[in-house]
Structure 1
Amino acid sequence: MKSLKARLTTLVLLLLALTSGCSAQSVPLTDEELQAIPAPPREFRAAWIATVANIDWPSRPGLSVDEQKAELLRIMDRAAELNLNALIFQVRPACDAMYQSSLEPWSEFLTGTMGKAPEPFYDPLAFAIEEAHRRGIELHAWFNPYRARHPQGKSAISADHISKKRPELVKQYGKYLWLDPGEKAVQDHSIAVMLDVARRYDVDGIHIDDYFYPYKERGPDGKILDFPDERSWQEYRRGGGTLSRDDWRRENVNAFIRRLYTELRKVKPHVKFGISPFGIYRPGCPPGIQGFDQYSELYADARKWLHEGWLDYWTPQLYWKIESRAQSYPVLLRYWVQENRQGRHIWPGNFTSKVLEDWPVSEILEQVRVTRQQEGASGNVHFSFKALQRSQALADGLKELYAVRALPPASTWLDDRPPARPTLELSVEPDGLSVTARWKPGDEERPFLWVLYTRPGGQWKTHVLPGAYREAKLQLSGADEVEYAVAIAAVDRCGNEGPKAGLKVQLKKAGQ
């Protein structure tokens, strides 16, 4: 089998042309010809890689470094095979780190012991970013902003964990340890952790999910426990606060979301901020919807965040079947699209792992189709990656749906300046059996992706390539005379496609 490096260095595309010696001269495509090239497909195709409790990676704590890397490479290869263009990698399961951090300890879900670094040393986040980008895939870092200890945590808590360093900020709540969102120092710490990653790592996104104030826990007597935030609540009241306790809790989360989005824009403007809330805003929104009320239970005023535009993409967890009446996938998707006043990306989350239980694969495939049919929605995020590895029927279905690679939708509110036009050269190889296209960026900025357009005859084909590519070898076979064309365009970190450079060439048999 060819090495990954070899496969990623040279792209081989089959085109119609001659099988014998030939002569050729390339000429530029006219502006009209360039404008006639169809736009590439755009769709966000992503999956979550959950590390908490070793859901997706690593398969268990304490694997060797080689085993950890091999498992992560299998994930990356599967993502590329399915033509995904983004992965959402959980790097902070519970105030710990799947990367080297001076702010929080190494995660026990990685090494088996909280605070213990991998041996021999490597940085899983840096490794994941490098391997994803090598394949032209975005890597988003996924954080839990408030969870401090998960029930699946088994090792001793290390001395550098926040529950040891700042115990007054951490509350025992049922089976969990939880940061108190009402403490300003909690907001400071969690935002510092996320911005530290944005500064030091080449991530494409910062992502948080549906855990704000915790889902309700019950005590030994079976009664629902109230979250123990009396200290921060009384401090708020002493400071002259007049909100009700529920509204105060919601405002604590609002302030966190608003501040994180504002500060991330200053630190690294091209990094997208995504939120994946519980899929129902409130029962009755829209009419007929029933179920859990995140507004009153998690103190998450999720609709407000979308209305205000304090995010770049919105991934509501629509974890129900299409046919469900009380929690209808298409009805909830339409609701969130209609609430999208600021024109952010709507990329719903799908409970894809249910195909490993009792859902038919056809349910997830149809949900992707429903999303495509809904104007204003432009992608899907699958929970979680293990389903894409363990269900071959699902993988085969997604291969059909995602048959052609797609660009992520552009985030023009972050940056709408397209990259420069590249330079392009075509050369016919001496054997007359192949043409090599070579290109260079039009300026010093390295593109994140390239779109290579080829026209073997009358129809354009689109190929999305990683930004490190600088050439493609086009193998030829089978016609007496053919004109074909090649065009190339750069795509930046915000998804903007720049102007195309294009050439066409006539190939004829030698002596004609």
Structure 2
Amino acid sequence: MLPDFTKRDFTLGGLTAALALGALLAGCATKPVVPLQAADEPPPAPRELRAAWVSTVANIDWPSRPNLNAAQQQAEAVAILDRAKALNLNAIVLQVRPSADAIYASKIEPWSEYLAGAQGKAPQPWYDPLKFWVAQAHARGIELHAWFNPYRARMDAARSQTAPNHITNTNPAVVKRYGKFLWMDPGEPAAAKQTMDVILDVVRRYDIDAVHIDDYFYPYPIDATPEVAGNAAALDGRGVKAQLEFPDDPAWQRYLAGGGRLDRASWRRDNVNRLIEAMYKGIHAEKSWVRFGISPFGIGRPDRRPPGIVGFSQYDQLYANAELWLEKGWVDYFTPQLYWPIGPRGQAYPTLLDYWIAQNPKGRHIWPGLFTSRIGAPSRDYQPDEIVQQVAVTRSRPLATGHMHFSMVALMQNRKGIADQLRNTSYTGPALVPASPWLGNERPGTPQVSAVRRAKSVDLKLKAGSANALYAIWSRYGSEWRFAVAPAVRVDWSIPDDAKLGAADAVVVSAVDRLGNEGQRVRVWPKP
């Protein structure tokens, strides 16, 4: 039986589609469709975003180390995607721009050193990793979100020299040193243009499902910056007073000389706001179905926090006005990094989740980030049940329709059995990603599907659609409906007999487009 949470079919009633849907599922039938009778109508499709981040910076998740050859890199990628599919995840968030570099073939920025060991050096033998990841993810019915760091240029922990076409060499004036980092100055128009050019280049050339940016806007203050690869996940929420000012004085003085009247903190927030708005509009101008998501630090601005919530202020110290982005609808999904347990009051997971839900007047997707990699950590480690319970808490909020795990390595290593527990308790069946009706809500057409009875199965012949659309498939065994998701590149799909319940007595199929819209359901077995 489907678990209770799958019966929530989250929709945003009353929203008018802002953009026309760019592409519908190919291969729709033109013959009349026999309407389903009430007895043949399956339940709503399960809907929940289940994702994991795959970090390339410092080889956290993939590839496991630099200097692997192309075949080894590809084998590791396939293993990650196979594990994601086995766990019934439906999205991977792949870091494609760690530090103003690329894990794909780019004419704008150099190859990342985390691939071949030296910045500017392509994988050997040559291949395009992002193209490979997209194709392999879609072949499994998994979305691929391209994750960009918008401003980080380089870390002192980098092992190789910068390539000639790295921004530290092509435009050093817009890069500033801040502690152990080189940082693209958000106040410099050329830095913002570089980030926009990079993102839109990927949107144009790759069949990605979403653009994703993380929590690094202005850098974490030196005393609050974790020692581990600059990863904000190491912060405990208490926050520490900054001791070093970000060196953006040239851009600030130009702003004042031009008649600017904002105070410095407001000016910094405005620099970031303008880039966020431009990203949202620019991405959808290129491809209306590509979503835009942000994963900011999980504690809100100080003047709006719920009673008892304390800690680091991204509003004051990262100059990230995340509440404004939700208010303006400049995101399609919002993934606050809620990297604290359920219990402690100062950064309680349920309280923070409720806070962000309440900041969402446009009804965008709220998909919190979970710190799954804290399981087995040297200090302040989680037990697996903490993550399982956080999934349950999220599901208890109807307006939070998914979550992301940081990061995939914990699921690959099955730390303390967390992957097994999620598969056996939380992810017992597949789910569709929730639809985004503000980007388009036209339903796809009716799929062309034929069915034939075999000795031990009902076999479907599917007319393949676009590489990134899906078929939703229900099979009924007596009074029990079972749900499956098939990528539209699949031609053959088999529904096996059950050892106890026998053969499926009804099979129903519908098409799902790139925005998650479901088309009309068709009974394909028994044949109409």
Matched residue of 1:269: which SS? coil
Partner of residue 339, structure 2: 319
Q: How does 1:193-232 map to 2 (within 5 A)?
A: 193-217=198-222, 224-232=243-251
Q: TM-score, normalised by structure 1?
A: 0.89
User: Contact (CA 8 Å) 2:292, 2:332: kept in 1 or not?
Assistant: yes
Aligned to 2:324: 304
Contact 1:98 1:124 in 2 (8 A): yes
Measured after TM superposition, the shift of residue 244 of structure 1 is: 0.5
The equivalent of 1:20 in structure 2 is: none
Which protein shows a greater Rg? 1
Amino acid at match of 1:76: L
2:455 aligned with 1:416: no
Aligned residue type for 1:450: Y
Matched residue type, 2:136: E
Is 1:258 matched up with 2:277? yes
The yes-or-no answer on 1:382 pairing with 2:408 is no
Distance of 2:163 and 2:169 partners within structure 1: 8
Q: Specify the alignment match of 1:22 in structure 2.
A: none
Q: Distance in 1 between matches of 2:58 and 2:456?
A: 53
Task: Read off the aligned partner of 2:306 and give its amino acid letter.
Answer: P
Distance 1:279 1:107 in 2: 28
The residue that corresponds to 2:11 in the other structure is none
Is the CA contact 1:424–1:503 (under 8 Å) kept in the aligned structure 2? yes
Cα distance in 2, alignment partners of residues 79 and 103 from structure 1: 31
Structure 1 counterpart of 2:21: none
Q: Which ranges of structure 1 fall in alignment gaps of 5 or more residues? A: 1-26, 507-512
1:455–1:484: 8 Å Cα contact kept in structure 2?
yes
1:187 shift after superposition:
1.0
Shift of 1:83: 0.5
Deviation at 1:34, TM superposition (A): 7.7
Shift of 1:474: 3.3
Matching residue's letter, 1:246: A
| Cross-structure match for 2:130 | 125
Structure 1 counterpart of 2:184: 179
Structure 1 residue 498 and structure 2 residue 519: aligned?
Answer: yes
Taking the aligned partners of 2:440 and 2:167, their CA distance within structure 1 comes to 36
Match of 1:465 in 2: 486
Aligned to 1:405: 430
Contact 1:93 1:147 in 2 (8 A): yes
- Supply the AA of the counterpart residue of 2:300: Y
Q: Quote the residue 2:87 is aligned against.
A: 82
Q: Aligned letter for 1:73?
A: V
Q: Is the 8 A contact 1:174 1:218 kept in 2?
A: no
C-alpha distance in structure 1 between counterparts of 2:95 and 2:330, whole Å: 21
Q: TM-score, normalised by structure 2?
A: 0.86
Give 1:28 shift.
Answer: 7.8
1:336 aligned onto 2:356: yes
Kept in 1, the 8 Å contact 2:376–2:416? The answer is: no
Match of 1:275 in 2: 294
2:476 equivalent to 1:455: yes
Q: Percent of pairs identical after alignment?
A: 49
4+ runs deviating over 6 angstroms: 477-483
Alpha-carbon separation, structure 1, partners of 2:81 and 2:405: 15
Relative to structure 1, is the Cα distance of residues 447 and 37 closer, same or farther in structure 2, using a 3 angstrom cutoff?
A: farther
Moved more, 95-104 or 122-131: 122-131
Return the alpha-carbon distance in structure 1 between the equivalents of residues 244 and 396 of structure 2: 43
Given the alignment, which residue of 237, 247, 254 partners 1:235?
Answer: 254
Cα gap change, 1:492 to 1:453, in 2 (>3 Å): same
The whole-number CA distance in structure 1 between the counterparts of 2:203 and 2:154 is: 23
Looking at both structures, which has the greater relative contact order when contacts are Cα pairs under 8 Å and sequence separation is at least 6?
1
Give me the whole-angstrom Cα distance separating, in 2, the residues matched to 1:35 and 1:419: 21
Write the distance in 2 (CA, Å) between the matches of 1:433 and 1:29: 26
Deviations 1:425-454 (A, max 9, x none): 22234xx4443222336xx76661111111
Distance 1:340 1:505, change over 3 A: same
How far residue 30 of structure 1 moved from its aligned partner, in angstroms, is: 4.0
List aligned pairs for 1:468-479, cutoff 5 A. Answer: 468-476=489-497
Give the distance between the partners of 1:361 and 1:479, measured in 2 at CA: 33
Q: Secondary structure in 2 aligned to 1:450?
A: strand
**Distance of 1:332 and 1:62 partners within structure 2:** 41
Number of aligned residue pairs: 474
* CA spacing shift, 1:29–1:168, aligned 2, 3 Å: same
Q: 2:311 aligns with which of 259, 279, 291?
A: 291
SS of the counterpart of 2:285?
A: helix
Letter of the 1:328 counterpart: A
Aligned to 2:148: 143
Are residues 134 and 140 of structure 1, via their aligned partners in 2, closer, same or farther at CA, if it must alter by over 3 Å?
A: same
How big is the shift at 1:409? 0.3
CA distance in 2, matches of 1:74, 1:478: 30
How far off is 1:460 after superposition?
2.0
Aligned partners of 1:435, 1:494: CA distance in 2, in Å? 29
Letter matched to residue 124 of structure 2:
E
Aligned CA RMSD, in angstroms, stands at 2.1
Given candidates 184, 187, 190, the residue that maps to 2:195 is 190
2:452 is the counterpart of 1:427 = yes
